[in-house]
Amino acid sequence: MKNETNKSYLFAITLVATLGGLLFGYDTAVISGAEKSIQAYLIDSLNLSSFVHGATVSSALIGCIIGGAISGFLSNRLGRKKSLLLAAILFFLSALGSGFPETLFFTEGEASMALLLTFNFYRIIGGIGVGLASAVCPMYIGEIAPANMRGRLVSFNQFAIIFGMLVVYFVNWGIANGQSIEWINSIGWRYMFASEAIPAAIFGLLVLFVPETPRYLALTHQDDKALNVLEKINGTKEKATEILEEIKATVKGNAIKAKLFSYGKLVIVVGILLSVFQQFVGINVALYYAPRIFESMGAAKDASMLQTIVMGLVNVIFTVIAILTVDKWGRKPLLITGSIGMAIGMFAVSILAFNNIIGISTLVFIIIYTASFMMSWGPICWVLISEIFPNKIRGQAVAIAVAAQWAANYFISSTYPAMMEFSGGMTYGFYGLMAVLSALFVWKMVPETKGKTLEEMENVWKK
Protein backbone atom coordinates (compact mmCIF):
# COMPACT_ATOMS: atom_id res chain seq x y z
CA MET A 1 0.00 0.00 0.00
CA LYS A 2 1.29 3.43 -0.96
CA ASN A 3 2.32 5.53 2.01
CA GLU A 4 -0.08 8.49 2.02
CA THR A 5 0.95 10.09 5.32
CA ASN A 6 -0.56 13.58 5.65
CA LYS A 7 2.79 15.23 6.36
CA SER A 8 1.55 18.82 6.61
CA TYR A 9 -1.04 17.86 9.28
CA LEU A 10 1.53 15.72 11.11
CA PHE A 11 4.14 18.50 11.09
CA ALA A 12 1.55 21.07 12.27
CA ILE A 13 0.58 19.07 15.38
CA THR A 14 4.24 18.14 16.02
CA LEU A 15 5.13 21.85 15.86
CA VAL A 16 2.52 22.69 18.52
CA ALA A 17 3.78 19.89 20.79
CA THR A 18 7.39 21.05 20.36
CA LEU A 19 6.43 24.50 21.71
CA GLY A 20 6.36 22.65 25.03
CA GLY A 21 10.00 21.73 24.35
CA LEU A 22 10.81 25.35 23.49
CA LEU A 23 9.35 26.47 26.84
CA PHE A 24 11.28 23.68 28.60
CA GLY A 25 14.52 25.14 27.16
CA TYR A 26 13.44 28.74 27.79
CA ASP A 27 12.49 28.13 31.42
CA THR A 28 15.63 26.16 32.32
CA ALA A 29 18.02 28.65 30.67
CA VAL A 30 16.37 31.98 31.62
CA ILE A 31 18.11 31.81 35.02
CA SER A 32 21.57 32.05 33.37
CA GLY A 33 21.07 35.75 32.57
CA ALA A 34 19.25 36.63 35.80
CA GLU A 35 21.34 34.56 38.23
CA LYS A 36 23.77 37.31 39.30
CA SER A 37 20.94 39.84 39.77
CA ILE A 38 19.05 37.35 41.95
CA GLN A 39 22.28 36.90 43.93
CA ALA A 40 22.61 40.67 44.42
CA TYR A 41 18.92 41.32 45.17
CA LEU A 42 17.89 38.30 47.26
CA ILE A 43 21.05 36.47 48.44
CA ASP A 44 23.77 39.05 49.18
CA SER A 45 21.36 41.66 50.58
CA LEU A 46 20.19 39.07 53.13
CA ASN A 47 23.77 37.86 53.83
CA LEU A 48 22.92 34.29 52.82
CA SER A 49 25.42 31.56 51.92
CA SER A 50 26.55 30.31 48.50
CA PHE A 51 24.62 27.11 49.30
CA VAL A 52 21.35 29.12 49.36
CA HIS A 53 22.43 30.79 46.11
CA GLY A 54 23.01 27.37 44.49
CA ALA A 55 19.68 26.07 45.81
CA THR A 56 17.86 29.13 44.43
CA VAL A 57 19.50 28.86 40.99
CA SER A 58 18.50 25.19 40.78
CA SER A 59 15.13 25.37 42.61
CA ALA A 60 13.20 24.93 39.35
CA LEU A 61 14.79 21.48 39.12
CA ILE A 62 12.86 20.39 42.24
CA GLY A 63 9.69 21.26 40.32
CA CYS A 64 11.03 19.35 37.30
CA ILE A 65 11.42 16.20 39.41
CA ILE A 66 7.85 16.62 40.75
CA GLY A 67 6.47 17.35 37.25
CA GLY A 68 8.28 14.34 35.79
CA ALA A 69 7.09 12.08 38.62
CA ILE A 70 3.39 13.04 38.32
CA SER A 71 3.41 13.12 34.50
CA GLY A 72 2.44 9.43 34.25
CA PHE A 73 -0.55 9.86 36.54
CA LEU A 74 -1.69 13.06 34.77
CA SER A 75 -1.10 11.80 31.21
CA ASN A 76 -3.09 8.63 32.02
CA ARG A 77 -5.93 10.41 33.88
CA LEU A 78 -6.27 13.68 31.92
CA GLY A 79 -4.80 12.49 28.63
CA ARG A 80 -1.71 13.70 26.78
CA LYS A 81 -3.38 16.83 25.37
CA LYS A 82 -4.83 18.16 28.65
CA SER A 83 -1.46 17.50 30.37
CA LEU A 84 0.21 19.76 27.78
CA LEU A 85 -2.42 22.44 28.45
CA LEU A 86 -1.74 22.23 32.21
CA ALA A 87 2.02 22.62 31.50
CA ALA A 88 1.29 25.80 29.48
CA ILE A 89 -0.72 27.29 32.39
CA LEU A 90 2.12 26.50 34.85
CA PHE A 91 4.71 28.13 32.52
CA PHE A 92 2.55 31.27 32.28
CA LEU A 93 2.00 31.61 36.04
CA SER A 94 5.68 30.96 36.77
CA ALA A 95 6.89 33.55 34.23
CA LEU A 96 4.85 36.39 35.76
CA GLY A 97 5.34 35.21 39.37
CA SER A 98 9.15 34.84 39.07
CA GLY A 99 9.44 38.25 37.39
CA PHE A 100 7.25 40.04 39.93
CA PRO A 101 7.33 37.92 43.12
CA GLU A 102 6.33 40.92 45.28
CA THR A 103 2.84 41.09 43.71
CA LEU A 104 0.04 40.75 46.31
CA PHE A 105 2.15 40.28 49.47
CA PHE A 106 5.41 42.31 49.41
CA THR A 107 6.83 45.76 48.76
CA GLU A 108 9.01 46.00 45.65
CA GLY A 109 12.69 46.56 46.43
CA GLU A 110 12.55 45.15 49.96
CA ALA A 111 14.30 41.77 50.14
CA SER A 112 13.20 39.28 52.80
CA MET A 113 13.32 35.54 53.45
CA ALA A 114 9.59 35.34 52.70
CA LEU A 115 10.18 37.00 49.30
CA LEU A 116 13.06 34.59 48.54
CA LEU A 117 10.78 31.63 49.34
CA THR A 118 8.01 33.10 47.18
CA PHE A 119 10.43 33.53 44.25
CA ASN A 120 11.54 29.90 44.68
CA PHE A 121 7.88 28.81 44.83
CA TYR A 122 7.18 30.42 41.44
CA ARG A 123 10.35 28.87 39.96
CA ILE A 124 9.24 25.45 41.27
CA ILE A 125 5.79 25.92 39.62
CA GLY A 126 7.62 26.58 36.31
CA GLY A 127 9.75 23.52 37.01
CA ILE A 128 6.64 21.36 37.38
CA GLY A 129 5.60 22.66 33.94
CA VAL A 130 9.03 21.73 32.54
CA GLY A 131 8.93 18.25 34.12
CA LEU A 132 5.45 17.66 32.72
CA ALA A 133 6.35 18.97 29.24
CA SER A 134 9.64 17.03 29.18
CA ALA A 135 7.72 13.76 29.65
CA VAL A 136 4.51 14.44 27.73
CA CYS A 137 5.82 16.31 24.62
CA PRO A 138 8.03 13.44 23.35
CA MET A 139 5.35 10.92 24.41
CA TYR A 140 2.70 12.88 22.49
CA ILE A 141 4.86 13.10 19.35
CA GLY A 142 5.94 9.45 19.65
CA GLU A 143 2.30 8.35 19.86
CA ILE A 144 1.10 10.29 16.80
CA ALA A 145 4.13 9.67 14.53
CA PRO A 146 4.42 6.84 11.97
CA ALA A 147 7.36 4.46 12.69
CA ASN A 148 9.47 5.62 9.73
CA MET A 149 9.36 9.29 10.86
CA ARG A 150 9.17 8.93 14.64
CA GLY A 151 12.89 9.47 15.37
CA ARG A 152 12.98 12.64 13.29
CA LEU A 153 9.77 14.09 14.75
CA VAL A 154 10.66 13.36 18.39
CA SER A 155 14.13 14.85 17.73
CA PHE A 156 12.38 18.10 16.76
CA ASN A 157 11.44 18.36 20.44
CA GLN A 158 15.13 18.46 21.40
CA PHE A 159 15.71 21.03 18.64
CA ALA A 160 12.93 23.12 20.22
CA ILE A 161 14.54 22.78 23.69
CA ILE A 162 17.89 24.00 22.35
CA PHE A 163 16.21 26.69 20.26
CA GLY A 164 14.33 27.86 23.39
CA MET A 165 17.67 28.15 25.21
CA LEU A 166 19.19 30.06 22.30
CA VAL A 167 16.18 32.41 22.12
CA VAL A 168 16.41 33.20 25.84
CA TYR A 169 20.18 33.84 25.59
CA PHE A 170 19.36 36.49 22.94
CA VAL A 171 16.40 37.84 24.96
CA ASN A 172 18.54 38.14 28.12
CA TRP A 173 21.37 39.72 26.13
CA GLY A 174 18.91 42.14 24.46
CA ILE A 175 17.41 43.17 27.81
CA ALA A 176 20.84 43.66 29.47
CA ASN A 177 22.68 45.16 26.48
CA GLY A 178 23.73 48.77 27.10
CA GLN A 179 22.05 48.94 30.52
CA SER A 180 23.69 49.67 33.86
CA ILE A 181 24.29 46.88 36.38
CA GLU A 182 21.97 48.77 38.80
CA TRP A 183 19.09 48.73 36.28
CA ILE A 184 19.61 45.02 35.48
CA ASN A 185 19.75 44.16 39.20
CA SER A 186 16.54 46.07 39.99
CA ILE A 187 14.39 45.76 36.83
CA GLY A 188 16.14 43.91 33.97
CA TRP A 189 16.03 40.46 35.55
CA ARG A 190 12.26 40.81 36.00
CA TYR A 191 11.76 41.31 32.25
CA MET A 192 13.91 38.21 31.60
CA PHE A 193 11.55 35.98 33.61
CA ALA A 194 8.31 37.71 32.52
CA SER A 195 9.21 37.40 28.80
CA GLU A 196 8.37 33.68 29.01
CA ALA A 197 4.66 34.49 29.47
CA ILE A 198 4.37 35.29 25.72
CA PRO A 199 5.40 31.85 24.31
CA ALA A 200 3.52 30.15 27.21
CA ALA A 201 0.25 31.88 26.22
CA ILE A 202 0.75 30.99 22.52
CA PHE A 203 1.44 27.34 23.45
CA GLY A 204 -1.69 27.14 25.63
CA LEU A 205 -3.92 28.54 22.87
CA LEU A 206 -2.52 26.27 20.14
CA VAL A 207 -2.79 23.09 22.26
CA LEU A 208 -6.59 23.60 22.23
CA PHE A 209 -6.55 22.85 18.48
CA VAL A 210 -4.49 19.61 18.40
CA PRO A 211 -6.05 16.13 18.73
CA GLU A 212 -5.55 13.64 21.55
CA THR A 213 -3.12 10.85 20.57
CA PRO A 214 -4.64 7.73 18.96
CA ARG A 215 -2.76 5.48 21.45
CA TYR A 216 -4.32 7.25 24.43
CA LEU A 217 -7.76 7.20 22.79
CA ALA A 218 -7.38 3.43 22.22
CA LEU A 219 -6.19 2.96 25.83
CA THR A 220 -9.40 4.64 27.03
CA HIS A 221 -11.61 2.70 24.56
CA GLN A 222 -12.46 5.72 22.36
CA ASP A 223 -11.88 3.74 19.17
CA ASP A 224 -13.93 5.96 16.83
CA LYS A 225 -11.95 9.05 17.82
CA ALA A 226 -8.67 7.12 17.55
CA LEU A 227 -9.60 5.94 14.04
CA ASN A 228 -10.48 9.49 13.03
CA VAL A 229 -7.07 10.85 14.16
CA LEU A 230 -5.20 7.94 12.53
CA GLU A 231 -7.07 8.52 9.26
CA LYS A 232 -6.13 12.22 9.27
CA ILE A 233 -2.46 11.34 9.86
CA ASN A 234 -2.17 8.31 7.55
CA GLY A 235 -4.39 9.47 4.70
CA THR A 236 -6.53 6.34 4.21
CA LYS A 237 -9.16 4.55 6.29
CA GLU A 238 -7.61 1.14 5.44
CA LYS A 239 -4.21 2.12 6.83
CA ALA A 240 -5.82 3.77 9.89
CA THR A 241 -7.90 0.64 10.64
CA GLU A 242 -4.82 -1.59 10.30
CA ILE A 243 -2.82 0.56 12.78
CA LEU A 244 -5.76 0.76 15.21
CA GLU A 245 -6.12 -3.05 15.24
CA GLU A 246 -2.37 -3.32 15.98
CA ILE A 247 -2.70 -0.81 18.85
CA LYS A 248 -5.80 -2.53 20.29
CA ALA A 249 -3.98 -5.88 20.33
CA THR A 250 -1.45 -4.37 22.78
CA VAL A 251 -3.95 -2.59 25.06
CA LYS A 252 -6.47 -5.33 25.88
CA GLY A 253 -8.08 -5.12 29.32
CA ASN A 254 -7.73 -2.12 31.64
CA ALA A 255 -4.48 -0.79 30.20
CA ILE A 256 -4.55 2.38 32.30
CA LYS A 257 -4.07 0.22 35.43
CA ALA A 258 -1.45 -2.13 33.93
CA LYS A 259 1.34 -3.14 36.31
CA LEU A 260 4.64 -1.33 35.80
CA PHE A 261 6.71 -4.54 35.65
CA SER A 262 4.34 -6.35 33.24
CA TYR A 263 7.26 -6.64 30.79
CA GLY A 264 9.97 -7.34 33.37
CA LYS A 265 12.36 -4.97 35.12
CA LEU A 266 14.98 -4.63 32.37
CA VAL A 267 12.93 -2.18 30.24
CA ILE A 268 12.47 0.12 33.27
CA VAL A 269 16.17 -0.13 34.23
CA VAL A 270 17.24 0.73 30.65
CA GLY A 271 14.87 3.75 30.65
CA ILE A 272 16.25 5.02 33.97
CA LEU A 273 19.90 4.50 32.95
CA LEU A 274 19.36 6.32 29.63
CA SER A 275 18.08 9.28 31.66
CA VAL A 276 20.81 9.16 34.30
CA PHE A 277 23.67 8.89 31.78
CA GLN A 278 22.23 11.79 29.76
CA GLN A 279 22.78 13.96 32.86
CA PHE A 280 25.90 12.38 34.39
CA VAL A 281 27.97 13.30 31.32
CA GLY A 282 27.65 16.88 32.68
CA ILE A 283 25.83 18.67 29.85
CA ASN A 284 23.73 20.92 32.07
CA VAL A 285 26.83 22.15 33.86
CA ALA A 286 28.04 23.38 30.46
CA LEU A 287 24.63 24.99 29.78
CA TYR A 288 23.70 26.48 33.19
CA TYR A 289 27.14 27.73 34.15
CA ALA A 290 28.40 28.60 30.64
CA PRO A 291 28.95 32.35 31.24
CA ARG A 292 30.73 31.63 34.55
CA ILE A 293 32.89 28.89 33.00
CA PHE A 294 34.01 31.26 30.25
CA GLU A 295 34.59 34.10 32.74
CA SER A 296 36.69 31.79 34.94
CA MET A 297 38.70 30.99 31.80
CA GLY A 298 39.53 34.65 31.41
CA ALA A 299 36.76 35.96 29.14
CA ALA A 300 35.31 39.41 29.89
CA LYS A 301 31.61 39.53 30.84
CA ASP A 302 30.38 40.57 27.36
CA ALA A 303 32.68 38.02 25.69
CA SER A 304 31.44 35.23 27.98
CA MET A 305 27.81 36.01 27.05
CA LEU A 306 28.83 36.01 23.36
CA GLN A 307 30.64 32.66 23.73
CA THR A 308 27.47 31.28 25.34
CA ILE A 309 25.53 32.35 22.21
CA VAL A 310 28.19 30.67 20.02
CA MET A 311 27.61 27.48 22.03
CA GLY A 312 23.87 27.89 21.52
CA LEU A 313 24.36 28.06 17.73
CA VAL A 314 26.60 24.95 17.79
CA ASN A 315 23.86 23.17 19.77
CA VAL A 316 21.24 24.02 17.12
CA ILE A 317 23.43 22.95 14.16
CA PHE A 318 24.35 19.56 15.66
CA THR A 319 20.78 18.86 16.81
CA VAL A 320 19.75 19.33 13.15
CA ILE A 321 22.39 16.71 12.20
CA ALA A 322 20.71 14.27 14.62
CA ILE A 323 17.26 15.03 13.16
CA LEU A 324 18.52 14.30 9.64
CA THR A 325 20.30 11.04 10.55
CA VAL A 326 18.36 9.35 13.39
CA ASP A 327 15.93 7.47 11.10
CA LYS A 328 18.70 6.56 8.63
CA TRP A 329 21.60 5.52 10.87
CA GLY A 330 19.62 4.32 13.87
CA ARG A 331 19.74 5.26 17.55
CA LYS A 332 22.66 3.14 18.81
CA PRO A 333 25.38 4.29 16.33
CA LEU A 334 24.58 7.96 17.07
CA LEU A 335 24.64 7.44 20.85
CA ILE A 336 27.98 5.56 20.83
CA THR A 337 29.61 8.10 18.47
CA GLY A 338 28.38 10.95 20.68
CA SER A 339 29.70 9.29 23.84
CA ILE A 340 33.18 8.98 22.30
CA GLY A 341 33.15 12.65 21.22
CA MET A 342 32.03 13.79 24.69
CA ALA A 343 34.75 11.71 26.38
CA ILE A 344 37.44 13.29 24.14
CA GLY A 345 36.10 16.80 24.85
CA MET A 346 35.83 16.40 28.62
CA PHE A 347 39.16 14.60 29.14
CA ALA A 348 40.87 17.37 27.13
CA VAL A 349 39.21 20.14 29.19
CA SER A 350 40.25 18.25 32.35
CA ILE A 351 43.93 18.10 31.24
CA LEU A 352 43.88 21.79 30.23
CA ALA A 353 42.35 22.76 33.60
CA PHE A 354 45.01 20.76 35.50
CA ASN A 355 47.74 22.60 33.59
CA ASN A 356 46.07 26.01 34.01
CA ILE A 357 45.87 26.42 30.22
CA ILE A 358 42.98 28.79 29.56
CA GLY A 359 42.06 30.10 26.14
CA ILE A 360 40.72 29.23 22.72
CA SER A 361 41.75 25.56 23.07
CA THR A 362 39.40 25.18 26.08
CA LEU A 363 36.54 26.72 24.11
CA VAL A 364 37.24 24.37 21.17
CA PHE A 365 37.06 21.24 23.37
CA ILE A 366 33.90 22.47 25.14
CA ILE A 367 32.37 22.94 21.68
CA ILE A 368 33.50 19.40 20.61
CA TYR A 369 31.88 18.10 23.79
CA THR A 370 28.55 19.96 23.38
CA ALA A 371 28.39 19.23 19.62
CA SER A 372 28.86 15.50 20.35
CA PHE A 373 26.08 15.62 22.95
CA MET A 374 23.67 17.53 20.70
CA MET A 375 24.00 15.08 17.81
CA SER A 376 23.47 12.09 20.09
CA TRP A 377 22.38 11.96 23.73
CA GLY A 378 20.49 15.28 23.59
CA PRO A 379 17.75 14.24 21.14
CA ILE A 380 18.20 10.45 20.96
CA CYS A 381 17.65 9.86 24.69
CA TRP A 382 14.19 11.50 24.36
CA VAL A 383 13.47 9.50 21.19
CA LEU A 384 14.22 6.23 23.02
CA ILE A 385 12.26 7.22 26.13
CA SER A 386 9.23 7.98 23.93
CA GLU A 387 9.41 4.63 22.08
CA ILE A 388 11.03 1.81 24.11
CA PHE A 389 8.14 1.35 26.56
CA PRO A 390 5.12 -0.83 25.58
CA ASN A 391 1.75 0.97 25.21
CA LYS A 392 0.23 -0.34 28.45
CA ILE A 393 2.97 0.99 30.72
CA ARG A 394 4.21 3.98 28.69
CA GLY A 395 2.67 6.70 30.87
CA GLN A 396 4.05 5.30 34.14
CA ALA A 397 7.43 4.22 32.72
CA VAL A 398 8.12 7.56 30.99
CA ALA A 399 7.27 9.33 34.28
CA ILE A 400 9.84 7.24 36.19
CA ALA A 401 12.54 7.73 33.53
CA VAL A 402 11.93 11.50 33.35
CA ALA A 403 11.82 11.92 37.16
CA ALA A 404 15.16 10.03 37.32
CA GLN A 405 16.53 12.37 34.67
CA TRP A 406 15.60 15.50 36.60
CA ALA A 407 16.90 14.04 39.87
CA ALA A 408 20.24 13.29 38.15
CA ASN A 409 20.20 16.79 36.62
CA TYR A 410 19.67 18.36 40.06
CA PHE A 411 22.44 16.26 41.59
CA ILE A 412 24.99 17.10 38.85
CA SER A 413 24.10 20.83 38.65
CA SER A 414 24.07 21.42 42.40
CA THR A 415 27.33 19.52 43.06
CA TYR A 416 29.31 21.27 40.30
CA PRO A 417 30.43 24.37 42.31
CA ALA A 418 31.55 22.20 45.28
CA MET A 419 33.32 19.69 42.98
CA MET A 420 35.17 22.53 41.22
CA GLU A 421 36.22 23.98 44.59
CA PHE A 422 37.43 20.57 45.73
CA SER A 423 39.16 19.20 42.63
CA GLY A 424 39.00 21.61 39.65
CA GLY A 425 40.07 19.67 36.57
CA MET A 426 39.11 16.30 38.05
CA THR A 427 35.44 17.39 37.82
CA TYR A 428 35.64 17.38 34.01
CA GLY A 429 37.50 14.04 34.16
CA PHE A 430 34.51 12.58 36.04
CA TYR A 431 32.14 13.69 33.26
CA GLY A 432 34.54 12.17 30.68
CA LEU A 433 34.48 8.85 32.55
CA MET A 434 30.65 8.90 32.56
CA ALA A 435 30.72 9.40 28.76
CA VAL A 436 32.87 6.24 28.38
CA LEU A 437 30.48 4.25 30.62
CA SER A 438 27.48 5.56 28.66
CA ALA A 439 28.95 4.13 25.42
CA LEU A 440 29.42 0.70 27.03
CA PHE A 441 25.86 0.78 28.42
CA VAL A 442 24.35 1.54 24.98
CA TRP A 443 26.47 -1.13 23.28
CA LYS A 444 25.46 -3.85 25.77
CA MET A 445 21.92 -3.02 26.92
CA VAL A 446 19.98 -0.70 24.59
CA PRO A 447 17.95 -2.28 21.75
CA GLU A 448 17.86 -0.65 18.28
CA THR A 449 14.39 0.79 17.66
CA LYS A 450 14.83 2.30 14.18
CA GLY A 451 11.81 1.59 11.93
CA LYS A 452 9.89 -0.43 14.55
CA THR A 453 6.29 0.50 15.38
CA LEU A 454 5.52 1.23 19.03
CA GLU A 455 3.53 -2.02 19.05
CA GLU A 456 6.54 -4.03 17.76
CA MET A 457 8.61 -2.75 20.70
CA GLU A 458 6.47 -4.92 22.96
CA ASN A 459 7.96 -8.08 21.38
CA VAL A 460 11.53 -6.84 22.04
CA TRP A 461 10.87 -6.93 25.81
CA LYS A 462 8.71 -10.07 25.75
CA LYS A 463 11.81 -11.96 24.56
CB 307 within 8 A of CB 363: yes
122 C-beta neighbours (distance < 10 Å), count: 23
How far is C-alpha 423 from the chain's CA centre? Answer: 29
pLDDT of residue 1: 42
pLDDT of residue 29: 84
Q: Where are the domains of the chain?
A: 7-210+258-462
What mean pLDDT do residues 21-38 have? 86
33 φψ region: left (φ > 0), alpha (ψ -120 to 50), beta (else):
alpha
Most confidently predicted of 23-32, 45-54, 173-182, 266-275: 266-275
What whole-number distance in Å separates Cα of residue 150 and Cα of residue 327? 8
Half-sphere exposure of 275 (CA within 13 A, CB side): 28
What whole-number distance in Å separates Cα of residue 278 and Cα of residue 86? 26
What mean pLDDT do residues 327-355 have? 90
Higher pLDDT residue, 420 or 232? 232
Q: What is the pLDDT of residues 282-333, one digit of tens each?
A: 887 776 566 666 666 565 555 666 666 777 788 888 988 888 888 888 889 9
Select from 275, 271, 291, 297 the least CA-distant residue to 457: 271
Which homologous superfamily is 7-210+258-462 in? MFS general substrate transporter like domains (1.20.1250.20)
Most confidently predicted of 22-26, 40-44, 234-238, 242-246: 22-26
Q: What is the pLDDT of residues 361-384, one digit of tens each?
A: 777 888 899 899 999 998 899 889
217 exposure class (CB count in 10 Å sphere: 0-12, 13-18, 19+): buried
What mean pLDDT do residues 81-107 have? 92
128 exposure class (CB count in 10 Å sphere: 0-12, 13-18, 19+): buried
CB 136 within 8 A of CB 84: yes
Q: Is the confidence at residue 435, as pLDDT, over 90?
A: yes
What mean pLDDT do residues 104-116 have? 81
What whole-number distance in Å separates Cα of residue 37 and Cα of residue 186? 8
Q: Is the confidence at residue 108, as pLDDT, over 90?
A: no
pTM of the model: 0.84
CB 413 within 8 A of CB 166: no
173-177, 248-252, 327-331, 367-371: least confident range: 248-252
Higher pLDDT residue, 273 or 391? 273
User: What pLDDT band is residue 197 in, cutting at 50, 70 and 90?
Assistant: very high
